[in-house]
Amino acid sequence: MTTVKGPGIFLAQFLGDQPPFNSLQSICEWAKGLGYVGVQIPTWDPRCIDLQKAAESKTYADEVKGIVEGAGLQITELSTHLQGQLVAVHPAYDVLFDGFAPKEVHGNSKARTEWAVQQLKYAAKASQNLGLNAHATFSGSLLWHTVYPWPQRPAGLVETGFTELANRWLPILNVFDENGVDLCYEIHPGEDLHDGITYEMFLEKVGNHTRANLLFDPSHFVLQCLDYLTYIDHYHERIKMFHVKDAEFNPTGKQGVYGGYQNWIDRAGRFRSLGDGQVDFKAIFSKLAAYDYKGWAVLEWECCIKHPEDGAKEGAVFIKDHIIRVTERAFDDFANTGSDENFNRSVLGIQ
């Protein structure tokens, strides 16, 4: 067994225009002051990193790493959640998702996809240059608008959609493999990979690619009413990353999973700061330790009630208190009577 690394913090939700949130150095110093030992870096924010430059220049990557380590932290992983989303976008969402890409590709879905694919390839090399072994992303979606099938889905639609999704991702996965980095899809509503079944369909289409792995975030399963503990039993060999994020689901006689088009504060399912929701983190950390999870426990803060700085401060302590320092020996070793093959045969009554 391995002790989970952490606490780490995903910087995306904390970056801003005012100090200490407006530069990599100052936000790392802030995170260190709260008790974090690792940071997960969003690659779309130039205040943190120039992704292309980190891919093309080992010297620059070392400079970024040096800034983080100078604050007493480690880089846990890089993230391309926004770019990964753009690898596969249904036309119905084109206008909304253009905001995730540079202005020069707005209104041109083909150019936008090409830009996103290149971003992922940069992320693979940048991760290698930084000495990282896992990377976070989204799968994107061609099928989400059909998740509740009315009118009914045409025969073969899902097959066609997952075949195309796999065709787009397979070259990217191969680049990650060349760079020795696991690509970890965050299983998330709105993505074509939004539960275990959809992940398995995708995995089959990419030939069970060794780099097509998982970012485990239990909050998204609470909102789907999916058993996040059994999920670990099913997929622990593929779970290479872990977002520690809380959530609650309180259905009423007026709304349930779909939320009635309400804002986050008024939805039955809401993300919460750590310890304020319903996720059983004691059981999760126990399972991950038992299954020898070797990665990081990284706070992703998304709460519609609590101030982010309070959520970050409390989150560092919460994660630290939940990390299990695994034992190096069995509790009953004191009663060990020794063993060899002859002794074992005599215990069993074998002549």
Residue 141 DSSP symbol? B
Q: What is the pLDDT along the chain (351 residues), one digit of tens a residue?
A: 999 999 999 999 999 999 999 999 999 999 999 999 999 999 999 999 999 999 999 999 999 999 999 999 999 999 999 999 999 999 999 999 999 999 999 999 999 999 999 999 999 999 999 999 999 999 999 999 999 999 999 999 999 999 999 999 999 999 999 999 999 999 999 999 999 999 999 999 999 999 999 999 999 999 999 999 999 999 999 999 999 999 999 999 999 999 999 999 999 999 999 999 999 999 999 999 999 999 999 999 999 999 999 999 999 999 999 999 998 888 877 778 788 888 888 888 997
Count structural domains, the chain: 1
- pLDDT score for 347: 85
The gap from C-alpha 102 to its chain's centroid, in whole angstroms, comes to 24
CATH of the domain at 186: 3.20.20.150
Instruction: Name the residue range of residue 183's domain.
Output: 5-347
Distance (Å, rounded) from C-alpha 183 to C-alpha 240? Answer: 9
User: Does an H or E element contain 42, and which?
Assistant: strand 38-42
Measured in degrees and rounded to the nearest 5, phi and psi for residue 92 equal: -60, -20
Count how many Cα atoms sit within 13 Å of the Cα of residue 256 in the half-sphere of its side chain: 3
- The pTM of the whole model exceeds 0.75: yes
